[in-house]
Amino acid sequence: MTSRWFVAPTSPDSRKAARDNSLPFRRGGLGWSLGICAIALFSINPLRADDTVVNSKHDLSTFGPGNVRAINEGEVCIFCHAPHNASPQAPLWNRYNPTTYYRIYNSSTTDARIDQPGGPSKMCLSCHDGSIAIGLVLNRPPTDPIAMTQPFMPTGPSNLTNDLSDDHPIGFRYDRQLSNRDHQIRSPDLVDERIKLGPRGQLECTACHDPHNNERGNFLRITDRQSALCNTCHRMDGWEISSHANSPRTVQVTSTNGVKLPFRSMSENACSTCHVVHNAPHRERLLRDRPSDLCITCHDGLGGISIQDTLNSRSGHTFNRLADLHDPKENPLIMPRHVECVDCHNPHSVRPSPLSNALLLADRRGPLLPGAMSNTPGVNLLGAPVEEANFYYEVCFRCHADNPVTVRPRINRQIDTFGNIRRQLLPTTASAHPVTYPTFINNETPSLLPEVRTRPFIGCQDCHNNPDARQLGGGSANGPHGSRFDFLLANRYDTADFTVESPQSYALCYKCHDRTSILGDQSFNLHNRHVVQARTPCSACHASHGVPGGKANHDHLINFDLSIVGGQRFYLDTGLFTGSCTLTCHGVNHTNFLYGPP
């Protein structure tokens, strides 16, 4: 047994005196010098106890404040450093470094080459992976380690284990090549000098943590209030002006793995509201929970705008049916079918729209995105994926274009694009609602309401929306989250044969088309007979989005519903308000049936 340098006094006064007078170190050694420096600093400018390692959680001496501490060892530095018999590794390292092979962080969105932890991180992991006894130091025989209240790092947030896949990545080079590959990573030249990279630019634990100074909590070099530490390296598009970065709301998420959020509001917690640096429950991208579940945690009506009340609607983008299938790097042309909030929203960029109805904002190519969909990827009108969508329909095309999600119920049409809405809205189509290109208003559509005639475009959200949305006069969230009507529609639109006509049954159509004009046969002299007397729904003849094919045969959105219209199903436009039909409907055969102006 080696002799102890110091035996802990038994009385409080004698313990205080021993600590104040000596913090017992041998004369002439590193410990003595550190002790003299500490005494000098205290005498010149008294510091809070956690400004130094003394009295911090890294003070593992018998006087340390934590539950893990020595039973009768009064030295503070010995657990990491020793003036003699230390390892060659600086700074006079007094521990055995782990030889563990770690499971490392992996994510589809990282552009860094992440390797095994480097030397500085292994120093930290010699305690924090829980594999090496805390009292096992190099200047003591292995058979006589420092006796501790708990020999190994106990299970909990501080024990990272050998699985680092749920922790912020370490062991990679943070250089200009990395920032060039990822535009949301700052160039290392612009990173705060308090972030300490290795000599070759490697990022290790000590980049963010100073093991000797705990004044900011968790031994952080920079405060994590408003995610100042995260934003030192990360530069997320739109974050500074986003709703989440500036929200004063109290965060509903209170803890993860027993670790409470450090601050009260979302703006103060910022990244920590959704992300966890260590021991993240949802490993990839270090999330506190599955992405959409995280959103609902706040958007449940108690915190942010409620989405919860739409989840059990008759139709909607219900994410809990196909969860955990979204990937930010997914190719929309081949991705698996799924629905997640982050398919349509970028949580780092969401912000309120300057107008109550954002779809009024448009340029000559279509309705622009509302603030809630800022910096979201999409698919353009040509069918090519784009990193940042410019128009509302481009976000919808991610799932409703060339890799379409099957929608039920669906109407089988004479010309069927099987859910590819992009093909239905191309400028080359026979006819289409003005979603992707403006329709020149003329006297061929006399039923349009005056306020509609002034708009060159309509947007997806004009028809597909929450019926109780704020922009429609309700109190719930805008957008196609859920609807009590089929097809995620903002208004009722009956498609069953023999529907009794009323303002309610075709409320969606009557938002833009004057009911009096339609039933007064101002454009088609048999509208009233078909819709009112024969109780034929609008959808029997007209498609909702657009119709590919020849203009003469599919003008005016003519694309017959195969479950109602039989026979040859041939329509021919012969001029203004004139044409002919060859088909069978309700048992009546039409053979080159002519109709003329009203």
Average pLDDT across each block of 10 residues of the chain; the chain has 598 residues. List them in order: 34 39 36 37 42 92 95 96 88 94 96 95 97 96 96 94 97 96 95 94 97 94 96 96 93 65 92 94 91 87 77 86 82 92 95 57 66 94 95 95 85 94 96 87 84 88 93 88 95 97 98 97 95 98 96 96 96 95 96 91
Q: Is the dihedral of CA 223, 225, 230, 236 positive or negative?
A: negative
| Cα–Cα–Cα angle for 550, 555, 556, rounded to 5 degrees | 160
Non-local CB neighbours of 146 within 8 Å, separated by 6+ positions: 70, 73, 78, 79, 134, 135, 136, 137, 140
Q: Which tokens hold the place of 487?
A: 């097809």
- The beta-strand segments (E) located in 376-531 are 378-379, 385-386, 431-432, 482-483
Q: Are the C-beta atoms of 392 and 368 separated by less than 8 Å?
A: yes
> Where do we find the tokens 């802990």?
8
Residue 484 lies in a domain: yes
Q: Which of 101, 106, 100, 206 is nearest to 165 (CA)?
A: 106
Q: Which of 596, 547, 543 is nearest to 573 (CA)?
A: 596
Residue 399 lies in a domain: no
pTM of the model: 0.86
Q: Is 443 helix (H, G, I), strand (E, B) or coil?
A: coil
Residue 571 lies in a domain: yes
Residue 143 DSSP label: T
Q: Is 537 exposed, middle or buried (0-12, 13-18, 19+ CB in 10 A)?
A: buried
pLDDT given for residue 182 in this prediction: 95
Tell me how far apart the alpha carbons of residues 480 and 399 are, in angstroms, rounded to a whole number: 13
Domain that holds residue 584: 421-595
Phi/psi for 45 (5° steps) reads: -145, 90
Residue 520 lies in a domain: yes
Q: Which of 150, 6, 142, 148 is nearest to 75 (CA)?
A: 6
Residue 459 lies in a domain: yes
pLDDT given for residue 360 in this prediction: 45
Query: Which amino acid, residue 580?
Result: S
Residue 225 lies in a domain: no
pLDDT given for residue 259 in this prediction: 67
Residue-by-residue DSSP string for 515-564: HHHHHTTSS-TTHHIIIIIS---GGGTB-SSEE-S-HHHHGGGB--BTTT
Q: Are the C-beta atoms of 427 and 366 separated by less than 8 Å?
A: no
Residue 506 lies in a domain: yes
User: Would you put residue 248 in left (φ > 0), alpha (ψ -120 to 50) or beta?
Assistant: alpha
Q: Which tokens hold the place of 240?
A: 């500074």
Strands 172-173, 202-203: pairing kind? antiparallel
The residues facing 203 across adjacent strands are 172
pLDDT given for residue 442 in this prediction: 65
What is the total count of domains within the chain?
Answer: 1
Residue 14 lies in a domain: no
Q: Are the C-beta atoms of 430 and 551 separated by less than 8 Å?
A: yes
With b for 16 or more beta-carbon neighbours within 10 A and e for fewer, the 104-124 pattern comes to bbebeebebebeebbebbbbb
Q: Are the C-beta atoms of 443 and 460 separated by less than 8 Å?
A: no
Q: Which of 346, 290, 349, 341 is nearest to 311 (CA)?
A: 341
Q: Are the C-beta atoms of 161 and 279 separated by less than 8 Å?
A: no
> CA gyration radius for the chain?
34
Which contacts qualify for 1-5: CB closer than 8 Å, 24 or more apart? 1/144, 2/140, 2/141, 2/144, 4/72, 4/73, 5/74, 5/75
